[in-house]
Amino acid sequence: DQQVKQNSPSLSVQEGRISILNCDYTNSMFDYFLWYKKYPAEGPTFLISISSIKDKNEDGRFTVFLNKSAKHLSLHIVPSQPGDSAVYFCAATDNFNKFYFGSGTKLNVKP
Amino acid sequence: DAGVTQSPTHLIKTRGQQVTLRCSPKSGHDTVSWYQQALGQGPQFIFQYYEEEERQRGNFPDRFSGHQFPNYSSELNVNALLLGDSALYLCASSLTGSGYTFGSGTRLTVV
């Protein structure tokens, strides 16, 4: 049973536009959420996180939104750049020992 | 500052064999977690080691075992390899209560 789902396997966006990546979860006990970015032949790298006590966290071009009632989070990238092209994973946890990952969304930012 | 180091980067094993993967955590990190990432999927939690003991385990059979050494480095052992064990194995280190830093992974192919 997959507790974190990313239903869009891929997304293509024009450079300069907004990229919106979505993630849904089923476990109401999750209280911390993260986004990771992964380039080919590299491990995932941490991008941004949000605690369940917040509904928004911003870091430069990246903003994560959390809707607890809908069990939904999204990552906004504005403006999108070609270097942002990668696979993005959302992850969730309730105890910092074990993280549940979605299956990833491959973002392609076209120049 | 060296990040998480995993070895080897690639290896090929025959079904039924045993394999050992190694991980050196980021300096200052005391916790090591192992994940399996099958093709097209997100990382799945195998187990986590802290203070040389397995602290939490995911839904993986006993063929998967691990160890953490006094210097915080860790090994993942898989016995009686199956074709389905072919995957990218990711090691992540952390300081208790914080997020992960991932290594680049070991690509295991079972033939």
pLDDT in tens, B21-64: 999 999 999 999 999 999 989 999 999 999 999 999 999 999 99
A45 inside 8 A of chain B by CB: yes
Task: Give the CA dihedral A47, B23, B58, A7, nearest 10 degrees.
Answer: 30
Burial class (CB in 10 A: 0-12, 13-18, 19+), A60: exposed
pLDDT for position A108: 98
Residues above pLDDT 90, as percent of chain A: 90
Judge whether residue A70 has pLDDT over 70. yes
B41 inside 8 A of chain A by CB: yes
Region of B23 (left: φ > 0; alpha: ψ -120 to 50; beta: rest) is: beta
pLDDT band at B99 (very low <50, low <70, confident <90, very high): confident
Judge whether residue A1 has pLDDT over 70. no
Cβ within 8 Å, pair B104-A41:
yes
pLDDT for position A104: 96
Cβ within 8 Å, pair B102-A44:
yes
pLDDT for position A95: 83
User: What length is written for chain B?
Assistant: 111
Q: Which residue of A has its CA nearest to B59?
A: A1
Judge whether residue A71 has pLDDT over 70. yes
Cβ within 8 Å, pair A104-B102:
no
pLDDT in tens, A36-53: 999 988 889 999 999 999
pLDDT band at A97 (very low <50, low <70, confident <90, very high): confident
pLDDT for position B1: 58
Cβ within 8 Å, pair B48-A98:
yes
B44 contacts in chain A (CB < 8 Å): 101
Q: Where are the alpha helices (DSSP H) in chain A?
A: none
Cβ within 8 Å, pair A45-B102:
yes
pLDDT for position B97: 67
Give yes or no for a contact between A22 and A7, defined as CB atoms under 8 angstroms apart.
yes
A10 contacts in chain B (CB < 8 Å): none
Burial string for A30-56 (b: 16+ CB within 10 Å, else e) reads bebbbbbbbeeeebbeebbbbeeeeee
User: Nearest CA to B110 among B5, B36, B6, B32?
Assistant: B36
B90 inside 8 A of chain A by CB: yes
pLDDT for position A41: 83
| Mean residue pLDDT across chain A | 95
| Mean residue pLDDT across chain B | 94
pLDDT for position B26: 94
User: Nearest CA to B38 among B91, B89, B79, B93?
Assistant: B89
Q: Where are the alpha helices (DSSP H) in chain B?
A: none
Phi and psi of A73, rounded to 5°?
A: -135, 155
Substitution target from A2, A45, A98 for chain B, most B beta carbons within 10 A? A98
Give yes or no for a contact between A65 and A77, defined as CB atoms under 8 angstroms apart.
no
Mean pLDDT across A32-37: 95
What stretch of H or E contains B20? strand B19-24
Beta bridge partners of B75: B22, B67
